[in-house]
Structure 1
């Protein structure tokens, strides 16, 4: 007989798997009681009252209708090793019928490629579903393996019974357990989906992978008992009742769900509960994470026993959440949010005993309260529980200042302003608390960044001043020059500015000499760029890009007297990124314009090839004020920043030649005094005054080299130290070309 090509391939494969089989190809057949039929390929209808072995149901290619092999198993009939091998093939089991080791092949997913168990006393054992559909409306189904396709355990009143599936394994596809009375016991889910809904029940399900779904949004009646979700598994409790569960993977308990019994969340587990879920009768053993998924919700559990686990409150997009427990014990962490400016907070209430040690992490914010108040986070009904603020240093950033946790020794725990002095037990809110004195890292970053513009300007000005000192000994010719500067500044003041700044700059310029009576006048233009990295000592960082241009003039009299003048404009682009006490970063940026001048007067005294030049100088600078906001909500209002630096010192050097190269090593020492002590900054509604005033010692050594008639170079190093500003090193390297 000539089989279709596909069927020939299948028959060949089967003959290899089951040797010594002589296959018969039939259309319709009745297998009577007591009769055993083996090794047939059926494309019509086979009624089974006796026993069949190794039957393959295939499509009827000779018919115009969409039809295929159909096995009807009646009372007492037994079918073993049937293979359902086409889209329009099926098996139906009636009362007293049994199927063993049936395989639904994976040729396609179609509702007609199926096994139907439709009778109370029917039994299907060890079915493998590789595609198609297995429906059980009644009877008992044991040890089904679902690799693809569908497996529906669905109660139907018309069949007068309810189906039960035992020891099923789901590797792929979808298994449904639905309608009142349908149940599944000891199911293992490795992949695909198990959906229990419409009154269905599952018991002792283990989820190793894939997705478990209990209930739906339309008919909430569904039940699950002793559900185990291992690492890699996911469970969604949409509605219905879940009683007793162990979670090492992920579980989401939605608004219409009910949780009963005991929920155990292992180290790797994460359970998210949404507002509206009925969980008040459930007790929780927590080693992993319990997430309160909706902000502004009210949550309740019976007993919470923690073994290093975490309770995480949702970010307050829609308000703040409350958690109520009948009792609390063990050790673990709570992650909460507050809006102390509005006197709002997430909260924890323990109606009964609270025993153990717990850390509370409060999310930082840049928004400040209008005045210092205590805010209640935790209330307990008794016990020896100790709560401590887990944030870095035991403090949380709430606006301009930091807060800490205190207790009234009566079971209540509060956030109160952090001070340098010991804090007494917190009074009940809203009694004003002690004024805070410890600023947050974000506040320190704002204060720090407000001071950088004058210091960057002074670094750039030093480069141009070095050029002017160089033209005093150069040929009276046109010149082009360039110089790079790298320096470090360590800054701190009483207001809270505290940082280290590394600056690298590049300056290029050109000048022209003019002969005047008994003197030389040199005028020039320059352009510069600088990049500064700011490392805040309270953690976090920032950077500043500076673009500048200016003009200069130098008057040198034949007597040795000189007068230098420089004017410069700068554009500063600031990026601010403080790291808050919680470890999260805030971000902000702003731009300012700066204007400044330097005047220096001195006199050269020559002693042969040596010289000494005492001098005085005055450097003034002003930068625009600017208001900006950090991403954590903090408002910064930086007023006009000013600097007036007076300086007096002396330079000494010596000129000599080495071959054709003329060298001029030199040293200098000076005392500089910052005269401005009142640069104001407001952070939120709190005012601060940056004060970098005081005397600094400045020490420099360098060498100039005339390499040829037209080409010169110089290099220098410097150190400065003072009351609020230290420059542990500065290096300047440059060249000039005259023509």
Structure 2
């Protein structure tokens, strides 16, 4: 019979054994992730220990009431319901040319909460639908790259860092309904994708955007190709900015802002190299300054309320109005051209001081427009005329919306020559 020898483990041997195992355990703890193979389906819930997940090759992760660390979705599908994702040193959820359905969940990261991107070859984008959820990241609440889309419903996006942004869109598409987007710096940043060039699209539907230390929406250019953004602020949405700038267009970018049935207070600003176009419609109101705005259209009972002397490129009024400040304020509006029909200019006149709002069209003016003139001051000593409108050329017609009475005098708007009223 063979002899079996038993060796006693002395203290030194015990120490060597511990040292030989511990480095391997530390390495696994730092780098471990549950990798899903192509076409694999994995279901996790509240009884599953928190882990990192990597989804590859049309795999699917269904998380119901689970707690996880960061999740990478590579051309795969993530269904996250009633779950919590807490990531450190990585994006919370990164959807790379994949799909994510996130409902009733909380995602947080010290980087980006939710990143949605295309593949490296620019052949397929990613998409995510988020409902009744809260997503936050120190750098950004969410980012959306070219060929990719984010649909946000009854949810919050927060950029928690001092310079964090609630949402960043790089030639992608983002739609937010009944939601809140907040940035520690700017509220929303729109720029161009480094490889794929296409306009960014942002739709805000009854959604509030807040910039705690910056502009509500920044449209910027990050490489040689200028970025373009089409922005719709609709159905009671609000924009709030610490610096008072609602749309800030920079470095050769183009920002196209449509405000529909919403009330905004703040400025629209484009630098000298950039382009800004503004459309107000369906009873929308914008009170603020327009700087370097190439075109303004005010339609269907919408109104722009001026806060100072202003200059606009092309002005179109179709059933909308422009209010020259409040009573006691007197401003001058200069535009390159005027068109449309059925618009109203709400203006003020003080007969005692001779102050009056004025409209100057340096180029061509067409269409029929009304002047609603409110007068104040003492009764004039004699009949007189005061210039109100001047155009460079065109067949535009202007008339008072009502007669102006002051004491024994009544005033009407009278055309003098071909270009003055």
Equivalent residue of 2:352, what SS?
Answer: helix
248 and 219 in structure 1: CA distance in 2 versus 1, 3 angstrom threshold: closer
Distance across 2 between alignment mates of 1:83 and 1:397:
71
Report the Cα offset of residue 348 of structure 1: 0.7
Greater relative contact order structure (CA < 8 Å, 6+ sep): 2
Report the Cα offset of residue 52 of structure 1: 4.3
Pairing partner for 2:202 from 201, 205, 224: 205
Alignment of 1:98-497 (within 5 A): 100-105=77-82, 112=86, 117=91, 122-123=96-97, 125-133=99-107, 135-136=113-114, 139-140=117-118, 141-150=126-135, 154=139, 164=145, 166-175=148-157, 178=165, 182-183=169-170, 185-194=172-181, 197=187, 199-201=189-191, 203-212=200-209, 217=214, 221-222=218-219, 225-235=229-239, 238-241=246-249, 243-250=255-262, 252=264, 254-255=266-267, 257-258=269-270, 260-266=275-281, 268-275=282-289, 277-284=290-297, 286-294=299-307, 297-316=308-327, 319-331=329-341, 332-365=343-376, 367-369=378-380, 372-391=383-402, 395-398=403-406, 401-413=409-421
TM-score normalised by the chain length of structure 1: 0.40
122 and 240 in structure 1: CA distance in 2 versus 1, 3 angstrom threshold: same
Cα deviation code 1:379-434 (max 9, x no counterpart): 1112111111111xxx1134564322122123111xxxxxxxxxxxxxxxxxxxxx
Report the Cα offset of residue 199 of structure 1: 4.1
Report the Cα offset of residue 233 of structure 1: 3.9
Distance across 2 between alignment mates of 1:248 and 1:290:
11
Distance across 1 between alignment mates of 2:176 and 2:188:
20
Equivalent residue of 1:205, what SS?
Answer: strand
Equivalent residue of 1:80, what SS?
Answer: strand
408 and 343 in structure 1: CA distance in 2 versus 1, 3 angstrom threshold: same
Pairing partner for 2:51 from 66, 70, 78: 70
Distance across 1 between alignment mates of 2:41 and 2:74:
12
Report the Cα offset of residue 188 of structure 1: 2.2
Distance across 1 between alignment mates of 2:371 and 2:60:
64
Q: Which residue number in structure 2 is paired with residue 423 of structure 1?
A: none
TM-score normalised by the chain length of structure 2: 0.67
Distance across 1 between alignment mates of 2:357 and 2:156:
40
58 and 183 in structure 1: CA distance in 2 versus 1, 3 angstrom threshold: farther
Distance across 2 between alignment mates of 1:153 and 1:185:
21
* Preserved contact between residue 36 and residue 55 of structure 2 (Cα < 8 Å): yes
304 and 137 in structure 1: CA distance in 2 versus 1, 3 angstrom threshold: same
Distance across 2 between alignment mates of 1:169 and 1:153:
21
What root-mean-square deviation, in Å, do the aligned CA atoms of Structure 1 and Structure 2 show? 4.0
125 and 367 in structure 1: CA distance in 2 versus 1, 3 angstrom threshold: farther
Q: Which residue number in structure 1 is paired with residue 35 of structure 2?
A: 48
Equivalent residue of 1:69, what SS?
Answer: coil
Report the Cα offset of residue 345 of structure 1: 1.4
Kindly tell me the number of residue pairs found equivalent between the two proteins: 342
198 and 186 in structure 1: CA distance in 2 versus 1, 3 angstrom threshold: closer
Cα deviation code 1:300-356 (max 9, x no counterpart): 221122222222222145x31221111112222111112221111111110101112
Report the Cα offset of residue 119 of structure 1: 9.4
Normalized per residue, the structure richer in strand is 1
* Preserved contact between residue 57 and residue 70 of structure 1 (Cα < 8 Å): no
Distance across 1 between alignment mates of 2:256 and 2:219:
14
Q: Which residue number in structure 2 is paired with residue 83 of structure 1?
A: 64
Which 5+ residue runs of structure 1 have no aligned equivalent?
1-44, 60-67, 157-161, 414-739
* Preserved contact between residue 278 and residue 293 of structure 2 (Cα < 8 Å): no
* Preserved contact between residue 387 and residue 420 of structure 2 (Cα < 8 Å): yes
When Rg is computed on C-alpha atoms for both structures, the one with the higher figure is 1
Cα deviation code 1:6-60 (max 9, x no counterpart): xxxxxxxxxxxxxxxxxxxxxxxxxxxxxxxxxxxxxxx862253442212458x
Equivalent residue of 1:243, what SS?
Answer: strand
365 and 285 in structure 1: CA distance in 2 versus 1, 3 angstrom threshold: closer
Distance across 2 between alignment mates of 1:81 and 1:91:
14
249 and 404 in structure 1: CA distance in 2 versus 1, 3 angstrom threshold: same
Which 5+ residue runs of structure 2 have no aligned equivalent?
1-31, 119-125, 160-164, 192-198, 221-227
309 and 180 in structure 1: CA distance in 2 versus 1, 3 angstrom threshold: closer
* Preserved contact between residue 276 and residue 292 of structure 2 (Cα < 8 Å): no
Distance across 1 between alignment mates of 2:91 and 2:339:
51
Report the Cα offset of residue 145 of structure 1: 1.7
Cα deviation code 1:661-694 (max 9, x no counterpart): xxxxxxxxxxxxxxxxxxxxxxxxxxxxxxxxxx
Distance across 1 between alignment mates of 2:180 and 2:135:
10
Q: Which residue number in structure 2 is paired with residue 507 of structure 1?
A: none
